[in-house]
Structure 1
Amino acid sequence: MKDIHSAFKAVVAIAAASLTADPTPPAIDLRGYDAVEFYLAIGVGGITFDATNKIEFKLTHSDDNVTYEAVAQADVLGVTVGSGGIVKALVAAHAAAAVYRFGYKGGRRYTKLLPDFSGTHGTGTPIAALAQLGYGHDNPQANQA
């Protein structure tokens, strides 16, 4: 069996919570890594999503951790990027928990994944996201257990 444990580091991209409004996402610093894969976990929708009452997950990137811009399709693997860096949109009923993944291949040092809430969300939707940093320049990576 091959060892991937020593080659990756996980960081929080969206803290696990039942959300009804936009949280403040942490900046993910990619310094020292050559790859990042995002894992977005979404529970059963707290509301029935539609074109007005929705959540759009936007991926942004930055060189300086101050000025962030939306990613473009050329920066991402595994999903179609919509206007404003949208990598996933909840605009219809989300009746079962699911995990979605996509990779960032852009050349910027920092990224952020923001759940952008629109409309009315009287009941929260469980959301969490991890960023898996890979191909570290200093392997093996430290244990995180």
Structure 2
Amino acid sequence: MKDIHSGLTVAVAIGNATLSADNTPAAIDLQGYDAAEIILDIGIGGISFSGTNKIEFKLTHSDDDSTYAAVEQKDVLGVTVGTGGIIKALTSAHAAAAAYRAGYKGGKRYLKLLADFSGTHGTGTPIGALVLKGRGFNKPEADQA
């Protein structure tokens, strides 16, 4: 087996929780890394999602951790980016837990991920998100156990 453990660190973008409203996005600092992968971990939908009652995951980036802009298609791998930096939208039934990923190649220092809730969410949806930071300048990376 090849070792990827020594070349990665993990940052929490959205802490594991059952959410029914927008999260407060944490700034993920990518300084010292040349690669990032966003991992979404979404449980069974708490409601019947629709075009009105939905969750959109919006990714933004910044050079200075002050002024953030929505990512564009050229900044992301593996997903189609929607208006406002949407990298995943829950707009129909989400009957089983699933994981999704998107690669970031935009070149900015900071990332933020917002779970943007629209409509009525009387029952929450389990959500978590991580950013894997790779190709770091310090190797091996410190353990995070």
Q: Residue by residue, what CA displacement relative to the aligned partner does 1:102-126 show, whole Å, maximum 9, x if unpaired?
A: 1000010000111000000000000
What amino acid maps onto 1:89 in structure 2? A
**1:54 is aligned to 2:47:** no
In structure 2, the residue matched to 1:139 is: 139
Matched position secondary structure for 1:6: helix
Q: Which residue of 2 aligns with 1:126?
A: 126
The answer to whether 1:30 aligns with 2:30 is yes
Question: Which amino acid is 2:109 matched to?
Answer: R
User: How far does residue 88 in structure 1 lie from its aligned partner after superposition?
Assistant: 0.3
How many Å apart are 1:139 and its aligned residue? 0.7
What secondary structure sits across from 1:122 in the alignment? coil
Secondary structure of 2:33's match?
coil
Identity %: 70
Residue 86 of structure 2 aligns to which amino acid in structure 1? I
Distance 2:134 2:107 in 1: 14
One-letter identity of the residue aligned with 2:59:
L
| Cα displacement (A) at 1:25 | 1.2
Q: Within 5 A, what are the aligned runs for 1:1-145?
A: 1-145=1-145
- Which consecutive unaligned segments of at least 5 residues does structure 1 have? none
Matched AA of 2:38 = F
Which secondary structure state, in structure 2, belongs to the residue aligned with residue 74 of structure 1? helix
The TM-score normalised by the length of structure 2 is 0.99
Q: CA deviation at 1:129?
A: 0.5
Q: Which amino acid aligns with 2:84?
A: G
Q: 1:36: how far off?
A: 0.3
Given residue 132 of structure 1, which amino acid in structure 2 is its aligned partner?
A: L
CA distance in 1, matches of 2:75, 2:137: 21
Q: Distance in 2 between matches of 1:107 and 1:12?
A: 19
Distance, in Å, in 2 between the alignment partners of 1:79 and 1:123 is 27
